[in-house]
Chain A
Amino acid sequence: MADGLAPALLRVTDLVKTFPGLTALDHVSLEVRGGEVVAVVGHNGSGKSTLVKILAGAYAADGGAVVTEEGTELHFIHQDLALIGELTAVENLALYKSPDPDRACELVGRFGPVFDIEAPVRDLTPAQRAVVAISRALDGWTHPANVVVLDESTESLHKTEVDVLFDAVRRLAADGAGVVFVSHRLDEVLTLADRVVVLRDGRKVADEPVATLGHGRLVELITGGQAAMAHTHETTVRDGDPVLTVRGLRGGTVEHLDLDLRPGEIVGVAGVLGSGREALPSLLYGAASGAADELTVSGAPYPRRSPGGSLSRGIAFVPGDRARHGSVRDLTARENLTLPQLRTLTGRFGNLSARREHAEADRLFTTYQVRPARPEQRFALFSGGNQQKIVMARALRDDPAVLLLDEPTQGVDIGAKAAIYDAVESAAAAGTAVLVSSSDAKELLRLCDRVLVLRDGRCAAVLTGTDLTEHRLVTEGYGLS
């Protein structure tokens, strides 16, 4: 641990970064000394990824400064490791130089037994790939007093592989390097870090030695205390027949899941990345391939799921990536709104009735308050919030029986967020069963009657009523309870 005598290799002072409608970083300061591992933790939207991007030079800060000690370099190991899968380890290590197998062997050998460095890295294990990435970050150092930033680098690793990486990081720190460890895996943070910086809503709320922190205290700091965020949605208990029933659903990161959705209820899905949370809506919709022991919609079996089949059964889906999956950016807003259901607008000669289609687009624009009110404008030209309103309007156009939402308010301003919540709630009040998958705990508290917390592809907990708190969402999601 730092003893106060080691020099600060990296000094971040009063960093400010704002985006339209959002202060991502609000006067954040931190220091990293040689020999020290500093963890940066925080929820989605806390500002930690903005901080990393500013350090990496991808964003320019609006205020404040990032100063490094004379001669200190910053090295990054990003979540996706930034390796080229078709090339071998030797080639990945020498992207800007001529490949040198001996040098590669020496670099990789520092982290344990040497593996096949002449194989394409996509054929290596995730841990071996991580070793290649870290070796590359450490190559060419002329002195040990540099800073390494690990940005969620353990995301794709198993427990034993994480240990390999951590050994390497500890060895670096022992040689005098500073390490910034950005992670949402609290266990790993408590194992590896000397000091923990907690960000919440763009502000630094804690900067403490790890010895003074436990799981509970860390969760409290991340969430801002239990009392601050309570369940704000009025829970309605529904006991009608489920409109959608699924048993033993699996596919992607989902291992095994049972679910009943009743008309009028809003069910949330929480969990960390990779828990199955992000895969569930598209799996149910039939956009991603998977299987289920049993799946019925309104009592009738629905064996082979597909987007077309789901739409005709009244199941609507709002994908998380609105630009790539939720819309056709070069078509107009009107054309996007009507695309999934054109049959009701078709006239006698198999033609689209322009009059009815325009009326339909105008009606949806009014109902969902899309601005500017120009249905003939290209989808791409609307702001993010209004694009999302259009995508929501499209899903709700024919009063679906089931509405599947994946991150419905990601990258959306506060005004549009409120409008989208209103739309979801009035759809539920009209009898639509809603499933909301979200990484935003506040969103789930705001909207949901109950929340399924997924962990490792299975349902770890169902939270409802007074149990439904941000604290419980976090602890169940991390498996800390």
Chain B
Amino acid sequence: MTEERIIPAGEKQEWVFIDEPTLDLHVCQQAGSSLRIILINLSSATNILHIDHTAPNCHTEIYALAFLHGTDSVSTHTRMHHDKGEGVSEQVIKFVLDDESKGAFVGELKIKPDAQQVDARQTNRNLLLSDLATMRTQPQLEIYADDVKASHGATTGQLDESALFYMRQRGIAPETGRKMLLRAFMDDIVDRVQDDDQHQRLVEAIDRVLQ
């Protein structure tokens, strides 16, 4: 069941979802509202986030991280619809996939004819830690307005071997170096959680998985 939510005009909200197995949200943002969603998955999940900018001047940030092991899989589907102009959206979606885990990201970004002067950014970065892990990524941009900025980028790769060697040359064990690089990759999302307790719990949960 899709859950409908409204962000009233001028309001600012932050939602943090940690390890929810299913998320299916349809959010209507009213004029001048701001929404920040932080989405963390450490086990299998399906996420659908549909955001409509139904009025001008809305602001949306979506930061998502999935860090998976075993045969877990996470599918994240964002539908970012700019119906009206002067809005901003930023999406940073990251997957770290170990063992035989699977990730999928569909990023639908629609900028409708009325939505002039929109600034929309979508970034998807994925790390594969094993040969058997797989990632599918599918950005879908539909842009019908002519005075907008829209960017997207998707990369999938492995941990940087030259960085690992540099660390080893300074005496850092490869396992320690690998953890430092992984934590650096994930901190970019994790550190956006502003509530201290929540942040602490999340850091501990990720540490447990890293061990």
| A and B together in one complex | no
A-side interface residues toward B, CB under 8 Å? none
